[in-house]
Structure 1
């Protein structure tokens, strides 16, 4: 499998990484102001590495700021508000694809869908303490062409709770969502906990996305905080496993070259299986994961942000 170049010689984003990095710039720890995040996201979407970049993630309470920032960009570029297919009225201009993040549960869903009307709605991420109630709300209100992911607190996913939630979601059209980090040490699951989630989904053929703490490719200890971060390459390689012990061993690997060699050995079929399972993750930095991949030889340096060269 080619990891860096198309047959014609132009650098391309390998299928393993296409659409993997949802732009969570406005969320901690990045906390980029919305007015800066919108033009930065549009620049990512126009860059040579655009195929790696998912939608701009935005919380329900900041959609007003997002609309104002998009209007400001439109005023500068002369473009009009994007239509439902992502194009502007004249077929040009920015394509602002937005992923709605709803930490307040199903009560936010209806108003947020209305407030998101000016944007191309790429997905909904709904936090809840009741998976069945969340599925019912999504079934009732979500447009049929919009994907959604359901996140439950990690404390409800321990023991039999994980099995029950995954069984609810596997009978629905929605993905699971799992939190892999945060701003405190307790927000980071250990290898066994994350492996339990990944293999539970793999056993059911249930797709999922992750969020927080994954913006570097390889498992590491953050030198500033001491937090143990999972690597997104570790998670990608563990995504095809159905055995929790095997998945935990992959998640514990700290050698970039070892992980890179395992990625190079993947067949096209394995890549498809992995990405059908692990669909995306939110990262407050688009540059860091791309730079990591380039450093490991898994991505052409031509596909990293210009300012990093």
Structure 2
């Protein structure tokens, strides 16, 4: 069973608390952000060279945009000062020729995309694979066959297949594998957002099995809230963090329903080092189209130094 992927190396003296290290995968090119790849790459490199770099995971990219990503990475790292910034952003080429971008491959087309995507991702450091499927067993078999052993992966099934006994069956398949689960916590329509009970069922099912997972979409802010523009109910990433270690669905749902940032921040401050480790071994990361928003929320709640989130670093 895999645990939390290695967090990025710090690029400066500022300290990001362990609870938030490597938590925010950069999903800038995905909805609703939809940042052009040519803009997302230099923005990501800047994040990875900023004082808050330890909070930032890899740049997420769909299989069909890897060629575009390679061109943007070449342009960004070839610019004046770009190589120094890129060196803070990832690993180096095997031949020592220079820095490479850390990328998470998002494969919505399933296992058929895995082999070609890994080939196309040769210019990058593949920091993870997120594979969508309707058959967890088939996805595990494909990952076992094709994925390098040092690359973590997460398997996502449609939410309609994770209701009732379907959830138990999928989690049981994944718990016997080296791979994480992935759960969709939002989107661009109201129906993409699970309610507290549905999300609590997933979180506690994983906690009961010691199965790590990542989330994606909808977790733009720290605290549960209703978006004033859309009316969508958004889960807060602090709510999810605090519910991650719970094995009782009712308790987890109550935590997910909490709307007071003061209450959640105080609960975070009361966590022991052991509790933080348990939480992050469960909830490993989530994709966010904005790196700034969650950091600003944490600073406003007094959970992150404002010095880490100064505008000049973004």
Which bracket does the TM-score occupy, shorter chain normalised? over 0.9
Distance 1:140 1:246, change over 3 A: same
Query: What TM-score comes out, normalization by structure 2 length?
Result: 0.91
Q: What are the superposed Cα offsets for residues 121-141 of structure 1, whole Å, 9 maximum, x if unpaired?
A: 000000000000000000000
Q: Which residue of 2 aligns with 1:60?
A: 63
Give how far 1:36 is off: 0.3
Q: Which runs of 5+ in 1 are unaligned?
A: none
Give how far 1:85 is off: 7.3
Give how far 1:289 is off: 0.2
Q: Which runs of 5+ in 2 are unaligned?
A: none
Give how far 1:267 is off: 0.1
Structure 2 residue matching 1:92: 3-state secondary structure: coil
For residues 213 and 137 of structure 1, the distance between their equivalents in structure 2, rounded to whole angstroms, comes to: 29
User: Which residue, out of 267, 270, 295, partners 1:265?
Assistant: 270
Give how far 1:74 is off: 2.3
Give how far 1:242 is off: 0.1
Distance 1:24 1:8, change over 3 A: closer
For residues 89 and 165 of structure 2, the distance between their equivalents in structure 1, rounded to whole angstroms, comes to: 41
Tell me if the contact between 1:59 and 1:100 (Cα under 8 Å) persists in the aligned partners: yes
Structure 2 residue matching 1:22: 3-state secondary structure: strand
User: Which shows bigger deviation, 10-19 or 43-52?
Assistant: 10-19
Q: Which residue of 2 aligns with 1:78?
A: 82
Distance 1:77 1:9, change over 3 A: closer
Distance 1:84 1:49, change over 3 A: closer
Query: What TM-score comes out, normalization by structure 1 length?
Result: 0.93
For residues 204 and 61 of structure 1, the distance between their equivalents in structure 2, rounded to whole angstroms, comes to: 34
For residues 223 and 84 of structure 2, the distance between their equivalents in structure 1, rounded to whole angstroms, comes to: 41
Q: What are the superposed Cα offsets for residues 15-37 of structure 1, whole Å, 9 maximum, x if unpaired?
A: 00000000000000000000000
Tell me if the contact between 1:77 and 1:93 (Cα under 8 Å) persists in the aligned partners: no
For residues 181 and 31 of structure 2, the distance between their equivalents in structure 1, rounded to whole angstroms, comes to: 21
Structure 2 residue matching 1:56: 3-state secondary structure: strand
For residues 92 and 257 of structure 1, the distance between their equivalents in structure 2, rounded to whole angstroms, comes to: 49
Give how far 1:89 is off: 7.8
Distance 1:152 1:7, change over 3 A: closer
Structure 2 residue matching 1:76: 3-state secondary structure: coil
Distance 1:307 1:184, change over 3 A: farther
